[in-house]
Structure 1
Amino acid sequence: MAPTPAELIRTLVAGRLPGLVHLAHRPGPFHVRHATDLEGRVLLLVPVFSDLAAELDPGAARDVAVVLDVLDLPPAAGAPSAGRAWVSGWAVPLDGESARRAAVDFAAVDPTGDLLDVGSRFRLHRFEVAEARLETAGVVHRVDPGEYAAAEPDPLHADEAALLADLADHHGPEVVAYLRGRLHLTGDEPRVVRLDRYGLVVAYGRPGDRRRARLPFPHPLADPADLPHLLLPLLPLPTPAHPHP
């Protein structure tokens, strides 16, 4: 099993990666801080005095057509990219109770102190995703908005780089031995280059070689707390010492 295009888009646009906003028939793009709520609606945190705020000012209209553009940043050298996501909709400025609830949703992803200034120095805009696309390996996947909304971001994405570094730095020999056995390798030294709810992506071969394999977990991970249990085959516990009689 592997993440679906809808899951990849939800993961990429969740708010952990830098984003760009494109506006229809307007200059840009604009760098933006963003997050998504539990329903997948996109939240944009915009300084009140900025070019983007001026362009998003609805004036006589009530909303503005926008596209959020997010490119994956692989977590380790040699790791494959998850692709590039575009989600689009019509951004609406929030105020009052709607802005307060949206700030709580934003803080669940990025607890920036600037959220305390929403309504003064910053404004939150929100849009429901009307179109979602993912480009990966040169192929563009169009995802139904309902499928996008029903998908969930990967629970390991925020900590993926740290988890990969921990595997390499503290469990390197055990991981290499396990991967060699699973992939029936001899001279090559395999390494884990991506980690998600469904399993591991392993690179092997000489430097620059693009050979990769996916090793699935016994079942998809639902909670990051379950990860140590799923990684036990890679990291066998040491045999306890028996006391001398």
Structure 2
Amino acid sequence: MPSAAERARTLVENNSSAALVIPGLSPAPGEPMTPLRRSVGPHGDVFLLFARDSAVVRAVEAAPDGEAAAVLEITDVAPVAVPHRIRGRAWVAGWLTLVPGGAFEAGTALLRLEPGEVSVDDLWGTALVEPDEFAAAEADPLAGYETELLQHLAAAHGAEVGLLCALVGADGTSCEGGVARRAVAAVPLALDRFGLRVRFSGDDTTFDARFDFPEPVTELDGARRAMRTLFEAARES
């Protein structure tokens, strides 16, 4: 499974929505403070681009020594229609400062969030991540392809995804017996270099099943081959 640091790094770097919170900010903003862009530097600092006249920039400039406590909250929503679409959240709490001359374009300002504490709560569970672990981790190599692949599987390969129910349960539980028998819909929920997660749902049950790839994959073609292997195993079961 991906480490907690890798999962947190993946959420922060990729397509999940983000909002910045500055405790005690007054007046409180009327809408979420969402960065225009974000990235993670080589030492684990999170760089956030905001409009130059935003409440975030004003708060940092007004803070003692130009440093404000802040929390970046990441919300990960499944890119396919599925019950309970929020897949996870991550939080990066630390100290926010202005990067002099760091703006990419006119009317913007670049801010640096130095992590003091990182946490993640997702489909794998909850965990705290040390800042040095976050800095050393790498985002999942399939994260940039996940939305496209999941939407393609849901739209064009729904029947094959449904066949995976036959592989559920190391104890022999399958679509012909146990809880899986009541599943009437199968939606691909999440994808990473280690495998595919599917959400099965029916009239009275919803559950997730994880299908590991034969080996970790690092690129798009490898992911496609690994999924074909899963589908072939399901057809043969």
TM-score category of the 2 structures, normalised to the smaller one: 0.7 to 0.9
Contact 1:66–1:91 (CA under 8 A) maintained in structure 2: yes
Alignment of 1:79-228 (within 5 A): 81-96=86-101, 99=102, 115=104, 117=105, 120-136=106-122, 140-177=126-163, 179-183=164-168, 184-186=174-176, 187=181, 188-189=183-184, 190-207=186-203, 209-228=205-224
Structure 2 equivalent of residue 61 of structure 1 = 65
Q: CA, structure 1 residues 208+75, in 2 after alignment: closer, same or farther (shift >3 Å)?
A: farther
1:44 to 41, 48, 52: 48
Question: What do you get for the CA RMSD once the two structures are aligned?
Answer: 2.6
The range that moved more, 20-29 or 127-136, is: 20-29
The structure with higher relative contact order (CA 8 Å, sep 6+) is 1
Q: CA, structure 1 residues 81+60, in 2 after alignment: closer, same or farther (shift >3 Å)?
A: closer
Structure 2: where are the runs of 5+ without partners?
A: 169-173, 233-237
Q: Give the deviation of 1:213 after TM superposition.
A: 1.2
Structure 1 equivalent of residue 235 of structure 2 = none
1:231 to 212, 227, 230: 227
Q: CA, structure 1 residues 140+217, in 2 after alignment: closer, same or farther (shift >3 Å)?
A: closer
Provide TM-score, normalisation by structure 1. Answer: 0.75
Q: Give the deviation of 1:54 after TM superposition.
A: 0.9
Structure 1: where are the runs of 5+ without partners?
A: 104-114, 237-245
1:35 aligns with 2:31: no
Provide TM-score, normalisation by structure 2. Answer: 0.77
Q: Give the deviation of 1:235 after TM superposition.
A: 5.1
Q: CA, structure 1 residues 23+81, in 2 after alignment: closer, same or farther (shift >3 Å)?
A: same
Q: CA, structure 1 residues 191+72, in 2 after alignment: closer, same or farther (shift >3 Å)?
A: closer
More strand by share: 2
How many corresponding residue pairs? Answer: 214
